[in-house]
């Protein structure tokens, strides 16, 4: 079963508005990552936040992590039509630091539509 | 873009036939992954590799096998394709370091239709 669950499943906004997507997960994690997928393409990494971090910024992206609530949020400010894509959170709950268990678990994604 | 290619990019096959998908990387990354993506299910891990000849099962491994005889290539085989294996398949690579998994880089995907 999925470790991360995004909310909402779909979001439609106007250009210039902010978009907020949430991710909840079930077990303790090493880090949480957000990815973007344009239609018909592979996923592209956006940002990684480690379990000991609470907030991280990258350009127009702001990610928060609340490990006590097992949740994260991705905020895209001043959205553009080009931000239209699906956004996925992925959690790394690997327990084996020796290297044989490195894998991410992805959520089902939030489809963001930014209308011009 | 990370140096990842997948072949073929599109394939139509019939039920019961074997199918092999190839993932090739030029980054010399240790970890390689195969995912399938289906509507309503997001991205699910099929198998992954943490080194040459070292592989392990993911969430949805039934009906699939993998092989990694050299660092740059990771093959996914559907032994006898079924219609339920119609999907988009993505390969990903990662360095992995320390106690944390670093980011994954994805290939362009392979669209497989099993009739």
Number of domains in chain A: 1
Taking the Cβ of residue B40 and every Cβ of chain A, the question of whether any pair is shorter than 8 Å is answered with yes
Q: Is A36 exposed, middle or buried (0-12, 13-18, 19+ CB in 10 A)?
A: buried
Considering the domain boundaries, does residue A99 fall inside one?
A: no
User: Which residues have a Cβ under 8 Å from the Cβ of B9 and sit 6 or more positions away?
Assistant: B108, B109, B110, B111
Domain holding A48, by residue range, is 5-94+104-115
B49-99 per-position pLDDT tens digit: 988 999 999 999 999 999 999 999 999 999 999 999 999 999 999 887 655
- Residues of B with Cβ-Cβ distance to A106 under 8 angstroms: 35, 42-44
Number of domains in chain B: 1
Q: Which 3 state secondary structure label does DSSP give A82?
A: helix
- Residues A72-110: tens digit of each pLDDT: 999 999 999 999 999 999 998 776 554 556 788 899 999
Residue-range definition of the domain harbouring residue B71: 4-97+105-114
Residue A30 within a domain: yes
Domain membership of residue A81 (yes or no) is yes
CATH number at residue A16: 2.60.40.10
Of the candidates B56, B94, B100, the beta carbon closest to that of A100 is on B56
The pLDDT value recorded for residue A1 is: 45
Beta bridge partners of residue A35, listed in sequence order: A45, A88
Q: What is the predicted pLDDT for the residue at B98?
A: 58
């Amino acid at each position: 079963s999925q470790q991360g669950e995004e909310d909402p499943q779909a979001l439609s906004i106007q250009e210039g508005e902010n978009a907020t997507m949430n991710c909840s997960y079930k077990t303790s994690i090493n880090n949480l990552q957000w990815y973007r997928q344009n239609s018909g393409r592979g996923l592209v990494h956006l940002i990684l936040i480690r379990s000991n971090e609470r907030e991280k910024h990258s350009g127009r992206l702001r990610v928060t992590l609340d490990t006590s609530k097992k949740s994260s949020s991705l905020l895209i400010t001043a959205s553009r039509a080009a931000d239209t894509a699906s956004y996925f959170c992925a959690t790394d709950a690997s327990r084996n630091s020796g290297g044989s268990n490195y894998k991410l678990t992805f959520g089902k994604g939030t489809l963001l539509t930014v209308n011009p | 873009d990370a140096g990842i290619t997948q072949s073929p990019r599109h394939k139509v096959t019939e039920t019961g036939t074997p199918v092999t998908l190839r993932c090739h990387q030029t980054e010399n990354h240790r970890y390689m992954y195969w995912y399938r993506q289906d509507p309503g299910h997001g991205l699910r891990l099929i198998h992954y590799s943490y080194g040459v000849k070292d592989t392990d099962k993911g969430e949805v491994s039934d009906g699939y096998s993998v092989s990694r005889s050299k660092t740059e290539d990771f093959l996914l085989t559907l032994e006898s394709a079924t219609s339920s294996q119609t999907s988009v398949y993505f390969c990903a690579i990662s360095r992995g370091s320390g106690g944390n998994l670093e980011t994954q880089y994805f290939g362009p995907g392979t669209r497989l239709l099993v009739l």
